[in-house]
Structure 1
Amino acid sequence: MKIGEIASRIGLKIETIRFYETEGLIAPPARTSGNYRIYNRAHLDRLSFIKRSRDLGFTLDQVRDLLRLADNRGSSCTEVDVIAGHHVAEIDRKLADLTALRTELVRSLECCERATIAECRIIEALSPRSRASAAHDD
């Protein structure tokens, strides 16, 4: 497969595939006499693994580690569990942050008197002046 075909099959941009190659996440593909990259089933599988991992929010370094571990099929999966555990903890932290953000926005909406922008609590909360005065109050 040429790079455009594999990109469309997996749902990646061509530049992203080239980046993964540069980063060493996939083996360099064979080249045609016209110097076109030719990808095989192993490339397709590996790029699908990378895309799925990235879609799930794993960092590039975590994906690199997961690929290294996946390449050593006889090893214990303890290290995979550690990586996944760290990722779950990060997801939980983000969920807590989003929950707090949602609570604050809902509270602001409930307090809204639908007056003018000059009196809008949401605009006020987003304003650099209000953040500066809140930091000053600490």
Structure 2
Amino acid sequence: MNGEHTQIGEVTTHTELSLRTIRHYEETGLVIPSARSQGGFRLYTEADVARLMVIRRMKPLGFTLDEMHDLLDATDRLDAGTDLPAGEREALLERVRGFEEAAHKRVADLRTQLARAEEFAGTLSERLTGTPAH
């Protein structure tokens, strides 16, 4: 990405999201292309791609579209300026902290699931080969 506007095809390559998925996120309001070309093609900035990457990272952790909206709203408002009243700024930071805690918990849960899945695969290997898996 070069700091200029990028077409959706390059964005799909960079984010590993499909055209359909990016369009869905646009329809739900999670990300809006910063511009359109004269031919009507969606054009994205590095900030748009960064937003898509946040969404991409939240998805496998099971966050809902509403939760994604909530986190992006909080970070957008925090990024918009430092002239927020102290109470509002702290409330937004607390929302982001809540997402951080939830993300850490979900990662731990996924690690537990992965360990169980690896144990299961090892058990199957042992059954097939008669050799204990390592």
TM range (shorter): 0.5 to 0.7
The one-letter code sitting in structure 2 at the alignment partner of 1:48 is M
Distance 1:37 1:79 in 2: 31
CA RMSD of aligned residues (A): 3.1
| Equivalent position to 1:64, from 51, 61, 69 | 69
Q: Residues 67 and 108 (structure 1 numbering): CA distance in 2 closer, same or farther, change over 3 Å?
A: same
Moved runs in structure 1, 4+ residues, more than 3 A?
52-55, 90-110, 112-115
Q: Residues 108 and 8 (structure 1 numbering): CA distance in 2 closer, same or farther, change over 3 Å?
A: closer
Distance 1:106 1:7 in 2: 36
Q: In the comparison of the two structures, how many residue pairs are matched?
A: 113
Q: 1:134 — aligned with what?
A: none
Distance 2:12 2:41 in 1: 14
Q: Structure 1 unaligned runs (5+)?
A: 116-138
Q: What pairs up with 1:67-78 in 2 under 5 angstroms?
A: 67-73=72-78, 74=82, 75-76=89-90, 77-78=93-94
Q: Larger Cα Rg: Structure 1 or Structure 2?
A: 1
Distance 1:41 1:101 in 2: 37
Q: 1:131 — aligned with what?
A: none
Percentage of pairs with the same residue: 27
Q: Secondary structure at the match of 1:38?
A: strand
The one-letter code sitting in structure 2 at the alignment partner of 1:38 is L
Distance 2:47 2:34 in 1: 10
Q: Which has the higher contact order (CA 8 A, sep 6+)?
A: 2
Residue by residue over 1:50-95, the C-alpha shift from the partner in whole angstroms, topping out at 9 and shown as x without a partner, is: 234446x251333222211111215232111212222333333444
Q: Structure 2 unaligned runs (5+)?
A: 1-5, 83-88
Distance 2:49 2:124 in 1: 48
